[in-house]
Amino acid sequence: MKRICQFLLILLIASICISASTTIQQKDDCEFEGKKLYGKIRFVEYASDADVKIKIVTSFPDIKVKLVENFADDCGEWQVVEYGEDLKVYVAENFADIKVKFVTSFPGMD
């Protein structure tokens, strides 16, 4: 009986060590048609120049966006730039690709 308990204890410890060392890679859901929805953003004047057309809403958004000054590394964080952008965005009233709500905290997709 003592040997069985020792074996089960060793098995439990080994499984905990293995699960702790295994990294789980999450799928990046913060994309639209292959374009990431975070990083450096430039607003453009014409829809033909844009990668994504957005509509600004106050309820039921597809993504909540927080404007940041630096390090827009997480989903929904946008750093507005004049050049060197990751994504070009056009603000449209009709026929938008995604609906955006600007927030001051907790950006991202639900």
**What is the predicted pLDDT for the residue at 95?**
94
Q: What SS3 state is found at 53?
A: strand
Q: Residues 59-102: pLDDT tens digits?
A: 999 999 999 999 999 999 999 999 999 999 999 999 999 999 99
Which among 61, 41, 59 is positioned nearest to 51, based on CA atoms? 41
pLDDT band at 24 (very low <50, low <70, confident <90, very high): very low
Cβ-based neighbour number of residue 106 at 10 Å? 9
Output 51 or 21, whichever has higher pLDDT.
51
pTM, full prediction: 0.73
**pLDDT score for 22:** 42
